[in-house]
Amino acid sequence: MIALIVNPRAGRGNAFLKLPHVEKIVKKFGISYEVFITSGPGDATKLGERIKDSGKFEKILILGGDGTINEVIQALVGSEIPILPLPLGTGNDFVKFFYPRQRYDTVLERHLLSDRTDKIDVGLLESENLKKYFINGMGIGFDSEVLNNMKKIKLLKGDFLYTSAVLLTFLQFKGTNLEVSLDNGKISFAGKFLLFNVGNGQYLGGGFRLFPEASLKDGKLDISIIGPLRPMRFFTNFYKAFKGKHITLPEVSYIKSEIINVKSDTPFNLQLDGELAQNLTSIKVSVRPAALKVVA
């Protein structure tokens, strides 16, 4: 028996609209299932706990985006229940890397009956009042300030909201001062950064290939650091991040590490798999190797 966790708001309602077609495919294969629909933020984690504790389910289909996947894995890290996420959110960064160039129905048709699973790494972020796993990555700087500005803008929605938040951030944001230590002090540096990102997978932020050398099974996290850029240089090189070519720029540093400690004298915001966390002054980021099972 399999469980279907559905986020009805994911992909601007697309996940819920595709549910009947998903059910049709599942029935075609003669598999029994149960549908669980989320009711709000954090609910997918609670449902994941219920499903895990019931002992009835062999795998979990996730109808949603990266945020929904992130919530589900909070309950499943270290368990034997594999996930099968379908690309029905807005960004779909994880599925883009794990099941490249596959539509949701193609992923379902090819992998639903599969007994093969991969054990993949997950990232773990810890601070004084926060402990969360992530599957794609986290960021401090321009990307987290875009999310922060999206929360402040009340009158717009969709692409207009995102574009307005990007422009507002571009006009206001001058960088974040951070002190960084890698692998318990083997490498340390400090400065003002436009973007400080840590990745588990290759994609983050809805299609940006910020970590082109990342692997989900190497026991490492990839770090992409972008220093201050002049406005024109920022815009003329922005597109390179979609292809992972930004790491050739002299303003960009790219490192692999297992443990990252970050602190600042000024509170900062961060985004974790696209979800905003605010007013932090220190964090520890580490990798949990082979901690999550995914249907292959």
* Same domain as 237, residue 154: yes
Q: What ranges in the chain are assigned the alpha helix state H?
A: 14-28, 43-54, 66-76, 93-98, 104-111, 142-152, 158-172, 231-237, 240-243
Residue from 84, 60, 61, 64 nearest 11 by CA: 64
Percentage of the residues of the chain whose pLDDT score is greater than 90: 81
Decide if 295 is inside a domain.
Answer: no
pLDDT digit string (tens) for 117-142?
Answer: 999 999 999 999 899 999 999 999 99
Decide if 61 is inside a domain.
Answer: yes
User: How many domains does the chain divide into?
Assistant: 2
- CATH value at residue 180: 2.60.200.40
- Domain holding 177, by residue range, is 125-288
- CATH value at residue 100: 3.40.50.10330
* Same domain as 162, residue 281: yes
Rounded Cα gap, residues 281 and 25, in angstroms: 48
- Give the max Cα distance, the chain: 58
* Same domain as 69, residue 170: no
Decide if 11 is inside a domain.
Answer: yes
pLDDT digit string (tens) for 27-52?
Answer: 999 999 999 999 999 999 999 999 99
* Same domain as 133, residue 110: no
Q: Which residues sit opposite 130 in a β-bridge?
A: 127
| Over residues 248-271, mean pLDDT | 96
* Same domain as 159, residue 88: no
* Same domain as 281, residue 242: yes
pLDDT at 256 over 80: yes
Give the domain-ending residue among 61, 82, 115.
115
